[in-house]
Amino acid sequence: MTPDYCRLALCVAREDLERLAVEFERLDTTGWQEVTAQSGDPRVVHVAAFFDAERFAELRAVDWRALGGRSVELDAEPAEDWMERYRDLVQPHPLGRRFFVDPREPEGATEAPGDRVLLRLPAREAFGTGSHESTQLAVELLETCPPENSRVLDVGIGTGVLSFVARALGARSVVGYDLDPAAAFAVAENWRLNRTKVPAWCGTLDALSAEARFDFIVANVRPEHLIDEYPCLRALMSPGGLMLLSGFLEREEPRVREIASGCRLEVRDGRTRGEWSAWLLEAVA
Ligand SMILES: C[S@@+](CC[C@H](N)C(=O)[O-])C[C@H]1O[C@@H](n2cnc3c(N)ncnc32)[C@H](O)[C@@H]1O
């Protein structure tokens, strides 16, 4: 079932942020992020950090004020199962040419037909069981240009579906992140179900070191949600690296082309389904 999680919100002077981050790590945070400035004072940072629900008592016992924290709020988020009805209806289905997704609860055994690779991705809060066109297009583009031996970054990882596909297609390493706290939990469970480790964090690109480099970035995320991040993502690409963009509508192509050319990205391949489009882009000098 969907795990509960704790959300800790507080504000802190910027110079105390590092101390807090160390404490978050000690308590095995599943991710933390700076929340857009609410005070207007650049010296004060608002932070939201997420933890497994089992940490609640320990989190409550920490003296956050002694670490510089102010306006501390700690909540255990309920395990609302919004997907219960939907999950009763979902059925296993093929994805791309090589994969087969079982979105049901993982209680029973299941098998993929022929030589398709089985992905067990229970339909819960996180997005990505492969039923949406944007995921299907991304998988198909990954199949036509497999990220063999690549270091892959999965932006908006959801259930981890694209990460698991990338690993099955030969990626050397895959990491991913998502703003949705449910995603980090989903990926952690799904990697156990699929016996493929994919580290994922809840938060933003800021968690990566400036030196991190990726040969292949996949981002099935609406363009308006990434608009400030495209240049940073481009800076993380190795020379000649590839970026797979999905999650935009065919009528939005001119705008996405503009974003791409502004980031020195050239379209190498693309496809559409229904009203959705996806492109494979190459980093050019
Ligand atoms: C369409 S879903 C894709 C999920 C999965 N990767 C797939 O292909 O099926 C988009 C995901 O991006 C996340 N998201 C939206 N804006 C984001 C951002 N700026 N940074 C990281 N994740 C973001 C959403 O929470 C959501 O899980």
Q: pLDDT tens digit string along 126-148? A: 899 999 999 999 999 999 999 99
CB atoms within 10 A of CB 153: 28
Give the pLDDT confidence score for residue 1 in this predicted structure.
Answer: 47
Give the pLDDT confidence score for residue 13 in this predicted structure.
Answer: 92
49 CA distance to ligand 1 middle (Å): 19
User: CB-based contacts of 114: which residues, under 8 Å, 6+ apart?
Assistant: none
Rounded Cα gap, residues 198 and 173, in angstroms:
8
Three-state DSSP state, 80: coil
- Asked whether residue 175 carries a pLDDT value surpassing 80, the answer given is yes
Rounded Cα gap, residues 145 and 280, in angstroms:
9
Q: What is the mean pLDDT of the chain?
A: 92
39 CA distance to ligand 1 middle (Å): 27
- In this prediction the pTM is 0.77
- Asked whether residue 85 carries a pLDDT value surpassing 90, the answer given is no
Q: Which residue has the tokens 């980090």?
A: 184
More confident residue, 38 or 118: 118
Q: Whose CA is nearest to atom 24 of ligand 1?
A: 156
Q: Of 34, 127, 187, which is best to mutate to test ligand 1, by the most ligand atoms within 8 angstroms of its C-beta?
A: 127
For the chain, the residue count is 285
Q: pLDDT tens digit string along 65-77? A: 999 999 999 998 7
Give the DSSP letter of residue 250.
Answer: G
CB of 156 closer than 6 angstroms to any ligand 1 atom? yes
Per the rule left: phi > 0, alpha: psi between -120 and 50, beta: everything else, 185 is alpha
Give the pLDDT confidence score for residue 81 in this predicted structure.
Answer: 66
- Asked whether residue 215 carries a pLDDT value surpassing 50, the answer given is yes
Mean pLDDT of 98-126: 93
Neighbouring-strand partners of residue 44: 13
